[in-house]
Amino acid sequence: MDITTELKKTLDGRSIKKDLRLSRSVRSATGISCTINGKELEELKTSELKEKYHDDLDRMYSSLQLLTDLVRVDPSSRRLLATNMDGYLKVFPCFLFMHFLQDGQSYKVFIYLRSSDLSKLEDDCGFFGYIIRRFEEMTNKIVSSLILVFGDLHYEIT
């Protein structure tokens, strides 16, 4: 995935932090964003759901259903959110929500990632592609852009 290579270049030379929870050192940056569209996004939409994302899908299912119902009634609503939260959690999920916004004849999807490990980003993007494909199937609408906003993007220093 080209986006992973580009983001790694962005992180190279950035600060090194101690990740106390996992006892490791990481190269890290905050507040980075990137956009995936075109052929790369179309490839992500063909992704299958991996086992490790079943809990995320379970947490998101009811809000995803509400989102698709709302699109049918008010396609330009600013309230088109699929959340990855189910009450208070001891450890919050790495991505908290997907925000679908109409942009002309298609939609842009914004995802806020609280914490993202570059080594897992390709799998995460596959999950996002799976959700986007489901959205398109359920609503008959097209998503043209996926915008990732990273609270903290990092990779382990070996």
pTM assigned to the model = 0.91
Does domain 32-151 match CATH 3.30.572.10? yes
For residues 123 and 133, give the distance between their C-alpha atoms in angstroms, rounded to a whole number. 15
Q: Domain residue spans in the chain?
A: 32-151
Within the chain, residue ranges assigned H as helices are 2-11, 38-44, 54-73, 121-139
User: pLDDT per position in the chain (158 positions), as tens?
Assistant: 588 888 999 999 888 999 888 899 999 999 999 999 999 999 999 999 999 999 889 888 999 999 999 999 999 999 999 988 766 566 677 888 899 999 999 999 999 999 999 999 999 999 999 999 999 999 999 999 999 999 999 999 98
For residues 120 and 122, give the distance between their C-alpha atoms in angstroms, rounded to a whole number. 6
Strand partners, 82: 98
